[in-house]
Amino acid sequence: MEPPACSCIQVSGRSMQDLEPSIFPAFDVGEKTESESLGLTSRLGCTVRGNLPQTCSVLCTAWGVLLGCFTGLETVCFGLENHSTTTTSGHGHDVTPTAQLNMPANESIQNILTGGRSNLFLLPETKAKTLFNTALSIRNFTSEASNDEDDESRARSQDFVSWCKIRMSVDPITLDTVLSWDPAFMTREQAANISNTYDKIVCEMIIHPETLVSNLNWFGDQNERQVLAWNSNPKNNVQECIHQAVSKHGELRPDAEAVCAWDGSFSYSQLLSLSDRLACRLQASGVGPEIFVPICFDKSKWTVVAMLAVSKAGGIFLPLDPTHPLPRLQSLARKVQAQTILCSPQHQGMLESVAAELIPVDDELFTQLAEHGGDEVNCGSWSNGAYMIFTSGSTGVPKGALIQHGALLSSALAHGPAMMMDSNTRSLHFAASTFDVSITEILTCLVLGGCVCIPSEDARLNAIEEAITQLRANWALLTPTFVKFIDPTKVPSLRTLVTGGEAMTQAIIDSWSHINLINCYGPAETAVVSHANPGMRKGKNPLNIGRQVGVHSWVVDRYNHDRLMPVGAVGEMVIEGHTLAREYYMEPEKTSEAFIVDPTWARNQPRQDGHRSMYKTGDLVKYNHDGTFHIAGRKGSQIKFHGQRIELGEIEHHLNVSASIKHGMVVLANEGFCKGRLLAIVQLSDAFNQDLVPRGQPYKLID
């Protein structure tokens, strides 16, 4: 075979074992309507200077960079065609010319083009199919009659659907391109983005050959227009305190039920009156703006009173879990220099060493507190801290995400309606108070005029179905792991189920799509919920977390947040808006690592307001064709296995969406019999058909 005239491609005598698979990931195409391969023609928007071999080198390397963008690989391979697309070897088998490109992140484009980092292999077709699913064809269109028809017919004749999913043809003279693709693999809009991304890469390589691979801008104008359109809604910015928003419902609907708990109920007027009296007591103890007040309760109606009282006094409430070890409680209270703690009476003795003053909150306390006769207590500003949640840290030391009133209210008024919460909502308070989900269960519900339903600790853990029914809860936010333990037929009052914190599963969709089923996502650092997908029903992808609510969302290179990823490529989710935490409390270095200001690409976009602050979530996502997000794993869970970069989190996501698997995790064994092997550890679901397991056959590990 006559190899293409590419100066960067050399025929190699290396073993085929040196090749790493470069499988371009399929897109979410929604409803599939086309059945035959499609073509899209365009012309590159720049001129390649140099001779024909140099032009071919740029075109080949650009396709390799594009594959690296979408696969996350530094070394990629793809089919490389010229006038002869296949060759017959002496054994009579079809072989496919295959290019391999090595593109280290710290290497310049110029060095890639001239450094001989690429090779050409002739592979049997069966081998090629396991290594790649894209091809680049460089040929002179004008010298071929009816080129477009030939390209389409050739695509079909080579079983295009099951073989090459994407083929880019480029004329090195005119720089005309034809992109052909399998319609089951991506939509025309997605194909246009691929073509636009390739165009952008070629132009950037020509204009900035000194650029490192890790800094090359591959975000084309079509990608930019699309992503900006998806982020065109204004970011929520509510400058009000959380207790002020709740108080409005006391004025409009004073007798409406605000709390329905196992130990009693409160109307809005009662809740506001009790929280006023306790707020005055806290202020007498020196509580005011930016003063922390830990609250440590079992599930109780008094938890809600305590939250609002601290807020009205101007303080920052810090939830503590009474089941946690005493040294942890002491450490957290010491970190915030807490002087006063609100708690359940039964925990008073345990907490004596945690703070100087303990205030047990129950009916007896309020017999001692005077009625508040003046105006409603209202201290502090929307810019003051409202609450702090400690999240896990990579070093084992928890980080405190400090949320301001304005951030919480900006988030609540966006994510609440997106998750179908309103004044008719009866929200189940299931989460532990130290998890940020409890903020939505309680405060978002009250902000929207709903009722918080609180089971006892025992019912929460051992009889949740009965508790939901008795409390008449019609809305719940639960993890998929816990949802599996609930029988839908035993909770007839439940009208809306939201899952979050973990990947939703197909089994949940199958069991719960008869009610309002919502998939949500949000780090604690963005005031609980930042994305919601209310359209979860049979046939929908359980890994689709929907669109952003009240914020703007961007997908950046996981290694370089100054570089945006094209639509469909996996990157790190970055969230921008007024819902972000102020800081990790007393952790300036960790704060600056996670909360960034004005990344390079943001400086070139139209500004709606001053500096643009964003939170790096550490979660890997990609845009779907409709602007929703597909969750793809967790940054930092990546390993290299048999030469391929693999996201363990992504594999776990796919395991857990299977109806046959109840729980699944993936590990790379470092020692023992399975050393060097990738292991999936699963607990099979009760519905798993044991007949599918081969009987009487020995099990073996597969490399």
How many angstroms separate the CA atoms of 556 and 74, rounded? Answer: 17
Tokens describing residue 437: 């989900």
Whole-number pLDDT of residue 668: 76
Whole-number pLDDT of residue 32: 58
Q: Where are the alpha helices (DSSP H) in 231-289?
A: 242-252, 268-284
Q: Residue 40 forms beta bridges with which residues? A: 179
Whole-number pLDDT of residue 5: 47
How many angstroms separate the CA atoms of 360 and 504, rounded? Answer: 39
Confidence label for 278 from pLDDT (cuts 50, 70 and 90): very high
CA 590 to chain CA centroid, nearest Å:
20
Any domain includes 378 = yes
Task: Report the pLDDT averaged over residues 147-158.
Answer: 44
Single out the residue of 241, 299, 249, 236 nearest to residue 425, CA to CA: 249
Any domain includes 165 = yes
3-state secondary structure 602-654: HHCCCCCCCCCEEEEEEEEEEECCCCCEEEEEECCCEEEECCEEEEHHHHHHH
Q: How far is CA 332 from CA 338, 389, 397, 526, 651, in A?
A: 9, 11, 10, 21, 35
Task: Answer yes or no: do 187 and 107 share one domain.
Answer: yes
Whole-number pLDDT of residue 405: 98
What is the average pLDDT score of the chain?
86
Are 573 and 653 within 8 A, CB to CB? no
Task: Answer yes or no: do 197 and 257 share one domain.
Answer: no
Per-residue pLDDT at 167 exceeds 60: yes
Whole-number pLDDT of residue 298: 96
* CATH number, domain with residue 212: 3.30.559.30
Per-residue pLDDT at 376 exceeds 90: no
Whole-number pLDDT of residue 162: 43
Q: How far is CA 170 from CA 71, 137, 165, 178, 192, in A?
A: 22, 6, 17, 7, 15
pLDDT in tens, 572-608: 999 999 999 999 999 999 999 999 999 999 987 766 5
Whole-number pLDDT of residue 688: 56
How many angstroms separate the CA atoms of 5 and 478, rounded? Answer: 59
How many angstroms separate the CA atoms of 701 and 703, rounded? Answer: 7
Task: Report the pLDDT averaged over residues 275-303.
Answer: 96
341 phi/psi in degrees, rounded to 5 = -125, 135
Tokens describing residue 700: 């073996």
Task: Answer yes or no: do 353 and 501 share one domain.
Answer: yes
Are 446 and 246 within 8 A, CB to CB? yes
Task: Answer yes or no: do 209 and 265 share one domain.
Answer: no
Confidence label for 166 from pLDDT (cuts 50, 70 and 90): very high
CA 234 to chain CA centroid, nearest Å:
21
Any domain includes 616 = no
Single out the residue of 301, 298, 337 nearest to residue 319, CA to CA: 298
Task: Answer yes or no: do 384 and 247 share one domain.
Answer: yes
Task: Answer yes or no: do 503 and 651 share one domain.
Answer: no
State pTM to two decimals.
0.86
Give the structural domain span for 360: 242-550
Whole-number pLDDT of residue 251: 92
Are 657 and 504 within 8 A, CB to CB? yes
Per-residue pLDDT at 663 exceeds 90: no
How many angstroms separate the CA atoms of 307 and 293, rounded? Answer: 10
Q: Of the given ranges (54-63, 200-209, 353-362, 653-662), which has the lowest mean pLDDT?
A: 653-662
Task: Answer yes or no: do 246 and 210 share one domain.
Answer: no
Task: Answer yes or no: do 381 and 451 share one domain.
Answer: yes
Q: Which of 218, 250, 278 is the last residue in one of the domains?
A: 218
Task: Answer yes or no: do 307 and 432 share one domain.
Answer: yes
654 phi/psi in degrees, rounded to 5 = -70, -35
Per-residue pLDDT at 150 exceeds 90: no
Tokens describing residue 528: 């609980």
Half-sphere exposure of 602 (CA within 13 A, CB side): 23
Q: How far is CA 320 from CA 269, 331, 482, 492, 651, in A?
A: 27, 11, 22, 33, 34
Any domain includes 203 = yes
- Residue 478's contacts (CB-CB under 8 Å, 6 or more residues apart) are 430, 486, 497, 498, 499
pLDDT in tens, 46-81: 877 767 788 888 999 999 999 999 999 999 999 887
Number of domains, the chain: 3
How many angstroms separate the CA atoms of 76 and 67, rounded? Answer: 7
Q: How far is CA 443 from CA 15, 386, 387, 532, 660, in A?
A: 62, 11, 11, 18, 37
Q: Of the given ranges (277-286, 359-368, 576-585, 641-650), which has the lowest mean pLDDT?
A: 641-650
Task: Answer yes or no: do 517 and 651 share one domain.
Answer: no
Find the angle CA(319)-CA(321)-CA(326) to the nearest 5 degrees.
115
Any domain includes 682 = yes
Q: Which of 504, 524, 550 is the last residue in one of the domains?
A: 550
Per-residue pLDDT at 227 exceeds 70: yes
Any domain includes 558 = no
At position 174, the amino acid (one-letter code) is T
Task: Answer yes or no: do 291 and 203 share one domain.
Answer: no
Tokens describing residue 221: 């104008």
Q: With residue 110 as reference, give the H or E element that holds it.
A: helix 109-114
Whole-number pLDDT of residue 249: 95
Per-residue pLDDT at 301 exceeds 60: yes
| Start-to-end C-alpha separation, the chain | 34
Confidence label for 122 from pLDDT (cuts 50, 70 and 90): confident
Whole-number pLDDT of residue 3: 36
Q: Of the given ranges (1-15, 86-100, 211-225, 530-544), which has the lowest mean pLDDT?
A: 1-15
Confidence label for 681 from pLDDT (cuts 50, 70 and 90): confident
Whole-number pLDDT of residue 509: 95
Whole-number pLDDT of residue 604: 78
Per-residue pLDDT at 645 exceeds 70: no
Per-residue pLDDT at 337 exceeds 50: yes
Single out the residue of 549, 516, 537, 545 nearest to residue 444, CA to CA: 549
What is the torsion angle, in degrees rounded to the nearest 10, for the CA atoms of residue 433, residue 434, residue 436 and residue 438?
-10
How many angstroms separate the CA atoms of 590 and 22, rounded? Answer: 35
Any domain includes 338 = yes
Q: Tell me the three state secondary structure of residue 445.
A: helix
Residue written as token pair 């269960």: 441
Tokens describing residue 487: 């029988």
Tokens describing residue 458: 């025992």
How many angstroms separate the CA atoms of 391 and 171, rounded? Answer: 54
CB-based burial of residue 563 (10 Å sphere; 0-12 exposed, 13-18 middle, 19+ buried)?
A: buried
Per-residue pLDDT at 699 exceeds 60: no
* Cβ neighbour number for residue 466 with a 10 Å cutoff: 13
Tokens describing residue 415: 């994510």
Tokens describing residue 518: 């919502």
* CATH number, domain with residue 417: 3.40.50.12780
Whole-number pLDDT of residue 370: 79
Any domain includes 103 = yes
Task: Report, in angstroms and rounded to the nearest whole number, the Rg of the chain calculated over CA atoms.
Answer: 29
Task: Report the pLDDT averaged over residues 490-500.
Answer: 97
Whole-number pLDDT of residue 152: 47
Confidence label for 16 from pLDDT (cuts 50, 70 and 90): low
Per-residue pLDDT at 290 exceeds 80: yes
Confidence label for 147 from pLDDT (cuts 50, 70 and 90): very low
CA 466 to chain CA centroid, nearest Å:
33
Per-residue pLDDT at 687 exceeds 90: no
How many angstroms separate the CA atoms of 2 and 101, rounded? Answer: 19
| Choice between 121 and 358, residue whose per-residue pLDDT is larger | 358
Task: Answer yes or no: do 196 and 267 share one domain.
Answer: no
Q: Residue 681 forms beta bridges with which residues? A: 665
Q: Which of 532, 550, 568 is the last residue in one of the domains?
A: 550
Taking each helix axis from N to C end, the angle separating 188-207 and 221-230, rounded to the nearest 10 degrees, works out to 130
Whole-number pLDDT of residue 35: 55
Percent of the chain's residues with pLDDT above 70: 83
| Choice between 135 and 139, residue whose per-residue pLDDT is larger | 135
Taking each helix axis from N to C end, the angle separating 301-313 and 242-252, rounded to the nearest 10 degrees, works out to 120
Whole-number pLDDT of residue 642: 45
* CATH number, domain with residue 679: 3.30.300.30
30 phi/psi in degrees, rounded to 5 = 70, -140
Whole-number pLDDT of residue 480: 93
Tokens describing residue 699: 């099990």
Whole-number pLDDT of residue 127: 82
Of 86-95, 99-108, 174-183, 337-346, the range with the highest mean pLDDT is: 337-346
Tokens describing residue 23: 């499988």
Task: Report the pLDDT averaged over residues 533-543.
Answer: 91
pLDDT in tens, 616-637: 999 999 999 899 999 998 887 6
Task: Report the pLDDT averaged over residues 393-404.
Answer: 78
How many angstroms separate the CA atoms of 505 and 502, rounded? Answer: 9
